[in-house]
A and B are shown apart, each in its own frame.
Chain A
Amino acid sequence: MEALFDAAPFVGYVYPNETVIPWTVMIVIYPYLTGLVAGAFTMSSLYQVFGMQRFKPVAHLSLLTSLCCMLVVPLPLLLHLGHPERAANPMITPHTTSAFAVFGFAAGFYVILLILENWFVFRPYIIQQAQQRKGPSRWLFKILTLGSYDLSEEAMAYDKKWILALAITGIPGAHGLHGYVGFVFGSLKSREWWSSDLMPPIFLFSAIISGIALLVVIYVVSCRLRKVAVDMDCLKGMSYALWGFMMFALLLEAVEFGSLVYRGREGIETIMQYVSGPLVVPFWTMQICIGSLIPLSLLTYMAWAGTRGTALYNGLVVSALLVLFSVLMMRWNVVIGGQEIAKTGKGLVTYHAEIFGRESMTTAACLLVLPFLLLWGAVKLFPPWMEVEVHAPGAH
């Protein structure tokens, strides 16, 4: 009979039960998607809460992106669970000392918040479509109006208040959600690689840069597809935001790694053996050099030289793609890396991801594509760049 698990090869001494890696690539995808949710929401907040007008072209797009990523977040967890049919139990019978148990409530709250904010933001468009469209799609928009066709000045002011309140609530909501993901790892004292108080802020800042980078790519691609000019002022603003948050993200990671080495607790020899061996390609080369230092240098140069036009456009898109790759590698190096260093502190395990199967690389790739398919559909239904005349008298 074919084995139901993949035993991982190891060197040195590892506990016998450690030869089956508990958390697979699915648990890499889960914080990556959650990070994109938080990061995209940050972009929207810069406009909705902080009034940065230059980000208006991506404000609504970022909200839709955040929602589409959030809808996919539970899937890697469901695919990982031994009993996915019991997935609701942490919410029905929560064990409140568990960091995981609170996730369901936090995520549920945040999804509702995102749906509400999207509804308020797109309400004028929904009403317009409900009145103008013909055929079955009209009914979809009619239902989405929830019976309210009021676009009067008072109604819009009321909506604006709600959007602001939701956007403000969403800042701790989105960032708390992702900070908590860092806490899930950082609070585990059994693994030296994870056990750090800096893990929540590291996850948070890497999430923000991944969200901004994603928005850069999506915005540029959407402009190309629509054959409209990119708003260079917006792009420049995103370049500054990405650059600034990257500084924090990298600094935090450096401080965390520095503390780990400087503390030099039991097992540090094995960690150094791991860092200077198996991590040379995924961490030093892919995450740090290609994914972080190159885009940071590029962004720094562009900011210093005041680059504009096509050069800024190309430089920023390349940087954004590299940052997206870097954050994915960061998730991999944290989640998989932490498990490849044995709890004994005397050995290293090697994770070999499956190509096909429930928790395989193919599934992971599908999960990474799925939010964008959802976004494609969402953008078709609710074009985030449509301006609606909002002061028209209420129709009904």
Chain B
Amino acid sequence: MDERNAKMTEHQAKSPDDDKKLSREQLQRRSVLRFFGAAALGCGAAAAVASSDGGKAATADKPQIPGYDWKAHQWSYGIDASRCIGCLRCVEACKNENRIQKDAHHFRTWVERYVYLEGEDTAHVDSQADPVNIAASGSEEVYRFANRYKDAKVEKAFFVPKMCNHCTHPACVQVCPVGATYKTEDGVVLIDHTMCIGCQYCVQACPYGARFFDDRMQATNKCTWCYHRITKGLLPACVEVCPVSARVFGDRKDPQSAISKFMHDNRTYVLRPESGNAPNCYYVGTDKEVS
């Protein structure tokens, strides 16, 4: 693990039993709040239409994690594409950590490969989910980039890790009809699977293709920056396993954090800035075709 990400692990982690207990209490609390919210709204639908706001509801309904104050943090993510070697350990770690389907159609994070061949203006793009790469690895559960350009004259090539951008103005949150997906005070976009109705409007609204429908829960799923880990002082699984520190994570409110240093030392940009979503994944070392 790179030293710039090391600071995160200094905090004390809680036991898995605590997690389960908290999770149940949290869910019960959310249910009670939702119930009274529903009752109040049922009494005056017109008033509810005028006053209801998903962001405020999320603030009032914050997760109760001992020792964690979500107002004290502002999480952000940095990606140095020039460091990425396309080993795909991040994809594997994410799938394992978050128990995502081991197939080629459900990813919380993925890696894209951009290859410019000599004499061509546009890049050849693929990800680990490309059928050629799956054929080379032999299984949808084994993530590899096939050496498909070994006989071609490559001008330049690079890898770009992708994931949910946890936008400041997330289109997915805007369109969710029940506020099941919401923006936390510490800058993470989460989904309450117990409230999601499974309409997939958010899947459509995300310009980054970061969301997918999880047929096991019949609800939408996506990257949470491993919220269960970061609120205990750990790093997201993908950052933890990255052997070259292409992925950087940290607290923008801490000037000594990895992400603050990353932002200070680099000229960064975001994907699809024209969308107005204001992403919070900051990129270094990509190229014009990456969006």
Chain B neighbourhood of A90, CB < 8 A: 177-178, 197
Q: What 0/1 readout, one digit per residue, does chain A (201-232) give for beta carbons within 8 Å of chain B?
A: 00000000000000000000000000000000
Contact indicator B199/A80 (Cβ below 8 Å): yes
Residues of chain B from 165 to 209 with CB closer than 8 A to chain A in the complex: 171, 173-179, 195-201, 203-209
Residue ID in chain B nearest A266 by CB atoms = B291
* B199 and A92 contacting across the interface, CB-CB below 8 Å: no
Contact in complex: A89, B197 (CB < 8 Å):
yes
B129 within 8 A of A: yes
Known: A15-B208, A82-B196, A190-B205. A94 touches B48 (CB 8 A): yes
Give the complex CA separation of A344 and B53 in angstroms.
31
Q: How far is the CA of A86 from the CA of B127 in the complex (A)?
A: 35
- CA distance in complex: A170, B125 (Å): 51
B53 neighbours in A (Cβ, 8 Å): 96-97
Query: Considering only CB atoms, which chain B residue lies closest to A343 in the complex?
Result: B209
Give every chain B residue within 8 A of A77 (Cβ-Cβ).
Answer: 199
Least Cβ–Cβ distance between B53 and chain A, in angstroms: 7
Most buried by B among A18, A86, A102: A86
Q: Which of B48, B106, B201, B212 contacts A98 (CB 8 A)?
A: B201
- Add 9 more A-B contacts to A17-B107, A82-B217, A92-B41 (CB < 8 A): A15-B127, A15-B210, A16-B105, A20-B212, A94-B48, A94-B52, A94-B178, A98-B177, A345-B291
Which chain B positions have C-beta within 8 A of A4?
Answer: 215-216
Q: Which 10 A-B residue pairings sit nearest by Cβ, starting from the closest?
A: A82-B198, A15-B209, A82-B218, A16-B129, A95-B179, A4-B215, A100-B177, A13-B125, A90-B177, A190-B207
Residues of B within 8 A of A15 (CB): 110, 127, 162, 208-210
B34 within 8 A of A: yes
A-B contact pairs, 27 of them (CB 8 A): A4-B216, A7-B105, A15-B127, A15-B162, A17-B203, A19-B105, A81-B198, A82-B200, A82-B219, A86-B198, A92-B38, A94-B52, A94-B178, A95-B176, A95-B179, A96-B53, A98-B176, A98-B177, A99-B175, A100-B177, A100-B199, A101-B177, A184-B201, A190-B207, A339-B204, A343-B207, A344-B209
- Are A190's CB and B105's CB within 8 A? no
Q: How many residues of A contact B (CB 8 A)?
A: 48
Which residues on the A side are within 8 Å of B211 (C-beta)?
Answer: 17
Q: How far is the CB of A200 from chain B (nearest CB, A)?
A: 16
Q: Does A392 contact B (CB under 8 A)?
A: no
Shortest C-beta distance, B277 to chain A (Å), equals 9
Query: Whose C-beta in chain A lies nearest to the C-beta of B109?
Result: A16
Pair B212/A17 contact, Cβ less than 8 Å: yes
Q: Is A248 an interface residue (CB 8 A)?
A: no
Q: For residue A13, which residue of chain B has the nearest CB?
A: B125
Most buried by B among A15, A93, A98, A99: A93
**List of A residues within 8 angstroms of B208 by Cβ:** 15, 343
Q: Is B154 an interface residue (CB 8 A)?
A: no
A53-87 with Cβ < 8 A to chain B: 77, 80-83, 86-87
* Chain B residue at minimum C-beta to C-beta distance from A187: B175
How far, in Å, is B272 (CB) from chain A's closest CB? Answer: 9
Contact A94 B41 (CB under 8 A): yes
Chain B, residue nearest A92 (CB): B38
With A and B bound together, what is the CA distance between A229 and B217 in angstroms? 57
Instruction: Select which of B34, B195, B275 is within 8 A of A189 by beta carbon.
Output: B275
Instruction: Identify A95's interface contact among B104, B112, B177, CB under 8 A.
Output: B177
A5 near B171 with CB under 8 A, answer no
Q: Which of A97-115 contact B (CB under 8 A)?
A: 97-103, 105
Q: Which residues of B are found within 8 Å of A101, using beta-carbon distances?
A: 177-178
Most chain A beta-carbon neighbours within 10 Å: one of B38, B105, B171, B275 = B105
